[in-house]
A and B are shown apart, each in its own frame.
Chain A
């Protein structure tokens, strides 16, 4: 047995290495900050022969995903990555990927949306694609990015739904952190080769995404809706088996920290949730029973796991790095409230929008935010 290897690497390189370890076949790509170095790393590995795959340098993000879905329909394992306006430019094809049941895996390196122009992280980009029918993970460390891409391929190919793996621009994408690479044979054991039950095949001519009448269209959409919800046990199973094989664990649908006896619960995603562990420690040092609940899965929103995990009578402090326009706060708070309604009358939900456009979110700043919210 080979031992795991530990290296120092950035979040974007962790993503590129995960694509290599997943033995992907096709990667269409187009640069956009802060995602660009994923595509650069993949282009270099393909050219050197380190990665046995095709890199297609297309001319824009709409074409990135249009090439990706078509390659997937041809039977290939397909990976790509984007950010912010690139993701928005893909919007139409995001729907085609999910409606077409094509198990593409894509990283979105979170960045605020134009206009005005910004380069830095917030979560408006991925959350605004909620209704495109993709499963969405949000990751809080370089290691979790690597681990999640492998889990994402497994889930995507089991249920034929595309998966988006999100992580913050710069705080994760450009920061060096230790990265454990499991031996390739362990990864191969976790992620078997892609064997689609259907592909574009001249031996079996059939039409794909042709015109449907309502009597066919409606069942297709219902099936997609049902299957997205049915992915939750697969997400849990993938996390569990990945842990059994590699020893690594980032949570499954949710990740928690000092939650069991918490009276005040911080609720957030991505890198700010990693920093919030330290905020929780600060608050605990001050005698406040604080804890953290981080949804790792944003879509499908893990309602039952959140309902079951929240301690009795907790105050939940939702820290949103996005706006829910037309509402007073952010999108996560709305999602959480809709889940709790009629189920957990004991829970209080408070909400602030912070960190927009990459404003630095330190442990002390967020601890202060939570303290202030307790008085509201």
Chain B
């Protein structure tokens, strides 16, 4: 059982007065992450919503030292910081417990422009946590497609709907043989909290990806962020899982979908709640396009079910 939301620590690392949109899932998730990491951490960001909303110089809406780094380089820059801290401690220039070094990066900075540096940091197994808050598009620049955008999605660069399925980024990270990989989303805060605590206490490279339904990009009512997050999981469009030292296990309620105990909800309702799909699903080819999206989801559920059985 995941930790109850009522039992999360009181500590608040996301301060009041930041510039995020109402109902912003990235900010909600970061708040939970803060409760798990505490104050002794250093935060890296690449250009994204969380930089735009952190406050203007010299103000800062996050209670960590924060460095905004070049877009392509979250992986290598986090490595630079963690190695610097470790050698300075070895040389006696830093005392006490070393801070957790974590990157807080969107799907663009993870799946696309940041992929090379992130892959290399994972291959080196440097001691960092990479968080990807995945809103399935380049939201900060006004919602363009990314490698995380699912098939059928309207964005400003896929005006008739994206034709390709998204990457399975968390699985790609797992295939780097790193000690901890997890997926999460804001509707399950206890699950996210527990995963961050595990990552914090695991040496080496950790990757946590958080599905972040963005009302602006996904086109729903900003009060419904958590509901959309929950619908994504219940439909199987987003699977909650974690892998410790390569062994995949699924978390509730995704575990029930994988085991067959409970069928995934049909994707229709989830899609029709979002303007990014709805506007493209009213033509004569609607049923075919919904079937394509459902097919991608079914394929991923079946694939992950089988992939989790590989345990060598």
Residues of A within 8 A of B (CB): 25-26, 28, 52-54, 56-60, 62-64, 66-76, 78, 92-93, 96, 200-202, 204-213, 216
Set B52, B58, B70, B117: member contacting A207, Cβ < 8 A: B58
Set B64, B77, B93, B99: member contacting A66, Cβ < 8 A: B77
From 71 to 102 in chain B, residues with beta carbon under 8 angstroms from any chain A beta carbon are 72-73, 75-81, 83-88, 90-91, 93-94, 99
Task: Please give me the residue from chain B that is nearest to A220 by CB atom.
Answer: B57
Compute how far the CA of A167 lies from the CA of B70 in the bound complex, rounded to whole angstroms: 28
Residues of A within 8 A of B54 (CB): 207, 210-211
Residues of B within 8 A of A74 (CB): 42, 80-81, 84-85, 88
Residues of A within 8 A of B63 (CB): 205
Compute how far the CA of A362 lies from the CA of B279 in the bound complex, rounded to whole angstroms: 72
Beyond A58-B79, A66-B117, whether A76 also contacts B73 by CB under 8 A is no
What are 22 A-B contacts with C-beta separation under 8 Å? A26-B80, A54-B86, A58-B120, A62-B117, A63-B120, A67-B80, A67-B83, A70-B44, A70-B67, A70-B78, A70-B81, A200-B42, A200-B67, A201-B65, A202-B99, A205-B64, A208-B65, A209-B69, A210-B51, A210-B57, A212-B57, A213-B56
B51 touches A75 (CB 8 A): no
Residues of B within 8 A of A72 (CB): 80, 84
B66 touches A208 (CB 8 A): yes
**Which of A57, A93, A200 lies at the interface centre, i.e. has the most chain B CB atoms within 10 A of its CB?**
A200
Residues of B within 8 A of A68 (CB): 80
CB of B68 closer than 8 Å to a CB of A: yes
A54 touches B83 (CB 8 A): yes
Residues of A within 8 A of B91 (CB): 25, 52
A211 touches B84 (CB 8 A): no
Beyond A58-B120, A66-B70, whether A202 also contacts B65 by CB under 8 A is yes
B81 touches A66 (CB 8 A): no
Minimum distance in angstroms from A308 CB to a CB of chain B: 40
CB of B219 closer than 8 Å to a CB of A: no
Closest 3 CB pairs of A and B: A66-B73, A63-B76, A67-B80
Set A25, A66, A211: member contacting B72, Cβ < 8 A: A66
Beyond A67-B76, A210-B60, whether A59 also contacts B68 by CB under 8 A is no
B55 touches A207 (CB 8 A): yes
A71 touches B83 (CB 8 A): yes
A69 touches B77 (CB 8 A): yes
A96 touches B67 (CB 8 A): no
Task: Please give me the residue from chain B that is nearest to A213 by CB atom.
Answer: B56
A25 touches B76 (CB 8 A): no
A56 touches B72 (CB 8 A): no
CB of B249 closer than 8 Å to a CB of A: no
CB of B163 closer than 8 Å to a CB of A: no
Minimum distance in angstroms from B53 CB to a CB of chain A: 10
A62 touches B66 (CB 8 A): no
A216 touches B57 (CB 8 A): yes
B124 touches A56 (CB 8 A): yes
Give how many B residues have a beta carbon under 8 Å from the other chain's beta carbons: 49
A28 touches B67 (CB 8 A): no
Residues of B within 8 A of A96 (CB): 69-70
Beyond A63-B73, A202-B42, A212-B56, whether A56 also contacts B83 by CB under 8 A is yes
Residues of B within 8 A of A78 (CB): 80, 84
A66 touches B76 (CB 8 A): yes
Beyond A58-B76, A66-B117, A73-B81, whether A210 also contacts B40 by CB under 8 A is no
Compute how far the CA of A71 lies from the CA of B81 in the bound complex, rounded to whole angstroms: 5
A206 touches B77 (CB 8 A): no
B77 touches A210 (CB 8 A): no
Compute how far the CA of A20 lies from the CA of B258 in the bound complex, rounded to whole angstroms: 55
Residues of A within 8 A of B86 (CB): 54
Beyond A56-B80, A210-B51, A210-B68, whether A63 also contacts B75 by CB under 8 A is yes
Residues of A within 8 A of B80 (CB): 26, 28, 56, 66-72, 74, 78
Residues of B within 8 A of A213 (CB): 56-57
Compute how far the CA of A67 lies from the CA of B56 in the bound complex, rounded to whole angstroms: 25
Residues of A within 8 A of B75 (CB): 63
Set B41, B62, B77: member contacting A70, Cβ < 8 A: B77
Beyond A26-B87, A93-B70, A202-B41, whether A207 also contacts B119 by CB under 8 A is no
Minimum distance in angstroms from B22 CB to a CB of chain A: 20
B57 touches A58 (CB 8 A): no
A76 touches B42 (CB 8 A): no
Beyond A75-B84, A204-B65, whether A67 also contacts B70 by CB under 8 A is no
Residues of A within 8 A of B78 (CB): 70
Residues of B within 8 A of A57 (CB): 124
Set A63, A76, A205, A211: member contacting B57, Cβ < 8 A: A211
Residues of B within 8 A of A200 (CB): 42, 65, 67, 81
CB of B255 closer than 8 Å to a CB of A: no
Task: Please give me the residue from chain B that is nearest to A208 by CB atom.
Answer: B67
Compute how far the CA of A72 lies from the CA of B87 in the bound complex, rounded to whole angstroms: 12
Compute how far the CA of A209 lies from the CA of B283 in the bound complex, rounded to whole angstroms: 47
Residues of A within 8 A of B94 (CB): 75
Residues of A within 8 A of B93 (CB): 75
Minimum distance in angstroms from B291 CB to a CB of chain A: 40
B88 touches A73 (CB 8 A): no
Minimum distance in angstroms from A65 CB to a CB of chain B: 9
